[in-house]
Structure 1
Amino acid sequence: MQNIYKKLGHLLLYLFAAAWLVPLIWVLITAFRPKQIALSPQFSLEFTLANFQQVWSSAPFVQYFMNTILIVAGVFAVQFITATMAAFAFARISFFGKDFVFMLFLVQIMIPADVLIFPNYNVLNELRLLDTKLGIMIPYFASAFGIFLLRQMFKSIPAELDEAASLEGYSKWSILWRIYVPLARPSYIAFALVSVSYHWNNFLWPLIVTNSVENRPLTVGLALFAQSFETGAMWTEVSAATLLVIAPLVILFLVFQRQFMNSFIQSGIK
């Protein structure tokens, strides 16, 4: 009986995975199909790259890609520093009210980012950072999830390493960057994937903050591109543009999926 339940559980997982893949497969097929048979239910071996050529020439996707890469890399670079130092402090340094302050950090995980759009917009307006890449990045320079993930990893490192390093004359700063950061490499990979995927797909905040092509990320550019057709939805072009946007993330996850899963296992997060 237990084996039957186990097989049913596996079957449900496969069904959910198949359901999740349906939209992706549809976008993949439609992006390469000629316009005249784009929505035809009949199977055809006719494929073309003309849809990608038209998309690439119809909108400044090169600029959108550059903007997105800069925003994603800038946010993660700052998060790497802030999350590392905060996680080390919560894991290895004793100070008054540490547990209470850590709980305040965790509250950020439970607060949707959209709730803070209005106050963040007012702050950027006062700082004259609207319609800038820096304005998109600033609200995300600290990550409660990253602090929590790295803290769990740092706490799993034996404290004896700290004592041995101190006897060798290392300061806490040196211990952090020479011992803890290299040992936490899988957690950093997982955090990088989460951070990059979130900010690569972030739409509402960049839509509100940006007004110019020079600062729009891919998600906003894709939405404007999809709305630019006056004669109705052009499914082949929209699918091709969507595939261009999501392809880097899919490839990134497929390359680092093993490290991504191992990091959560090693950090004790289930």
Structure 2
Amino acid sequence: MRLYEPRGWALGLETAAAWLLGLLWILPLVYAVWTAFHPPEFSAKFVLGAPLTLENFRRAWEAAPFARYFLNSFMLVTMVLAAQFLLCTLAAYSFARYEFRGKEIVFLLVLVQLMIMPDVLIVENYRTMARLGVLDSIPAVGLPYFASAFGIFLLRQAFKTVPRELDEAARVEGAGPLTVLWRVYVPLAKPIYLAYGLVSVSHHWNNFLWPLIVTNSVTSRPVTVGLQVFSSGDQGIDWSVITAATLLTSAPLLLGFLLFQRQFVQSFMRAGIR
């Protein structure tokens, strides 16, 4: 339930602002689609009846090993999401239902991590990956993100809303702590998992700086880093090919959102902190 319902001019102002923000978001996408599906001579001008072509996508696909890049990105986001679900679930359950010495201090440290930009830790993360001997590998890209402070906080808030009576009923039936977590808490938090999964996959699919620093070969670089091949040539920038490659990179996320947008929106609405 909204605490404030706009009326009259306020409602019109909100609607106008929403349309303005929508246009600001959609115009770059419209330009990218136009440029990618038309010959290079039409990349800087809109001409009705301009010929359509898929040549830009063919050139982009042949210019870089996209099949390998897509595989790397898929393995990366799957690995990170699985580790985050496991570790964040266990940590959130502990913070929500157990009492132990130093609990508040440890949770405060988790909240502090939310205030630190990941880029600040790049040097130390790189040194850690070097000491572990995993540089230039997919695990090196994902390891620093296995534990997510945001995921722990979000799931903790969700677990705290579960009535303790459900715990007691499950324990009466002989269920252990992990069984209670898996059978009671996780199913009730499915909308939270879906909302967080969307955020995590989007972030790690689009992440650029850390994968660029920690990898230097095709066998480990994700698709976003592979895009830099189109801006490193000596013959100028071909925007038609670049936009085609960008659409190829963004296509999985855009397609996933279009197919499951209702579930995504409902998940975010139900994931509100109560």
TM-score by length of 1: 0.95
What is aligned with 2:3? none
Instruction: Structure 1 unaligned segments of length 5 or more: list them.
Output: none
1:44 aligns with 2:53: no
1:118 to 120, 123, 131: 123
2:253 to 249, 252, 256: 249
What is aligned with 1:261? 265
Equivalent pair of 2:191/2:267 in contact (CA under 8 Å)? yes
1:171 aligns with 2:176: yes
How has the CA–CA distance of structure 1 residues 100 and 265 changed in structure 2, closer, same or farther, with 3 Å as cutoff? farther
Q: CA deviation at 1:264?
A: 3.8
- Secondary structure of the equivalent of 1:178? helix
1:100 aligns with 2:105: yes
Instruction: Structure 2 unaligned segments of length 5 or more: list them.
Output: 1-5
Alignment of 1:53-132 (within 5 A): 53-132=58-137
Give, in whole Å, the separation in 1 of the partners of 2:64 and 2:38: 20
Q: Which amino acid aligns with 1:112?
A: M
1:183 to 176, 180, 188: 188
Q: CA deviation at 1:71?
A: 0.7
Equivalent pair of 1:153/1:266 in contact (CA under 8 Å)? no
Q: CA deviation at 1:36?
A: 2.5
- Secondary structure of the equivalent of 1:89? helix
Q: Percent same amino acid among aligned pairs?
A: 50
- Secondary structure of the equivalent of 2:8? helix
1:133 to 135, 138, 141: 138
Q: CA deviation at 1:45?
A: 4.3
Equivalent pair of 2:37/2:56 in contact (CA under 8 Å)? yes
Aligned length: 269
Give, in whole Å, the separation in 1 of the partners of 2:261 and 2:91: 26
Give, in whole Å, the separation in 1 of the partners of 2:73 and 2:199: 15
TM-score by length of 2: 0.94
